[in-house]
Amino acid sequence: MPSATVENYLKCILMLSMECDHGEVPMGLIANSLGVTSGTATSMMKSLQKEKWLKYKSRKGVTLTSSGKKLGMRMIRRHRLLETFLVETLGLDWSEIHDEAEVLEHAISEKVLERLDVFLGNPRHDPHGHPIPTKAGIIRKSPQKTLLDCDIGKKMKVVSIFDQSTEFLNFAKKKGLMPGNMIKAISRDNLADTIELQIEKTPKFSLGLTSAEKILVSG
């Protein structure tokens, strides 16, 4: 059975390969997002390759094999189901669940996970609005865009927030940018690189485009 470390590397590589697809995921991104030195990442890649989780091309990067992808997906499923449980059942705060799930995802068995899934009513999205992969490792996605390329003046629903940091999550929460909420884009200022938003009847406010990019919306 793969160690927690292996599980983490694989989940991380899968997420990187999904969000910024360059075919191969470069070492730098991996080392960086796991907080290890690049040497550590390199040597880890070699052993992950030896165990057939991925294909490693020196100075190019890394691509997951199908078993690598499968395990990565399994980890994302675990993570998101656990986050859902922590919020829905135990009432933990939106911003504190990530770190908890990060540990639990390596400890929970397949059996307990599937029971949890049933107990929670087979949820399709975690509390951040991210889709929960199926048991078979498939992400069911609904057509989504970010606040960057949304229509001005139309009402839409917040689907998810693509940021893990407590700081940003708390900010988003305070502003009402939470999955499920309806929001309206009032105007976009391409010179100032901001977008002006209104949520229900609360005051308008604006968001920089780097932040706007993290907010997924639908409708």
Q: Contact residues for a second copy (CB under 8 A)?
A: 86, 89-92, 96, 100, 103-104, 106-109, 111-112, 115-116, 119
Q: Which does 37 bind (CB under 5 to 8 A by kind): DNA, a second copy, none?
A: DNA
Measured from the CB atom, the residue of 45 and 113 that comes closer to a second copy is 113
For DNA, the binding residue among 22, 46, 52, 154 (CB under 7 A) is: 46
Q: Does 23 bind DNA (CB under 7 A)?
A: no
Q: Which does 41 bind (CB under 5 to 8 A by kind): a second copy, DNA, none?
A: DNA
Smallest distance, a second copy to C-beta of residue 6, A: 16
Smallest distance, DNA to C-beta of residue 1, A: 11
For DNA, the binding residue among 10, 27, 76, 177 (CB under 7 A) is: 27
Q: Which residues pair with 183 in a beta bridge?
A: 156, 199
Is 96 in contact with 131 (CB distance < 8 Å)?
no
Q: Does 42 bind DNA (CB under 7 A)?
A: yes
Measured from the CB atom, the residue of 18 and 148 that comes closer to DNA is 18
Question: CA 175 → CA 26, 148, 165, 198, distances in Å?
Answer: 35, 17, 16, 10
Token digits for 8? 């983490």
Three-state DSSP at 203 gives coil
- Cα within 13 Å of Cα(97), Cβ side: 23
Helix 38-50 / helix 27-34 crossing angle, nearest 10 deg: 110
Strands (E), 58-180: 61-64, 145-146, 155-161
Measured from the CB atom, the residue of 64 and 97 that comes closer to a second copy is 97
Chain centre distance of CA 73: 12
- Chain residues in the site for DNA (CB under 7 A): 3-6, 26-29, 35-47, 56, 58-59, 61
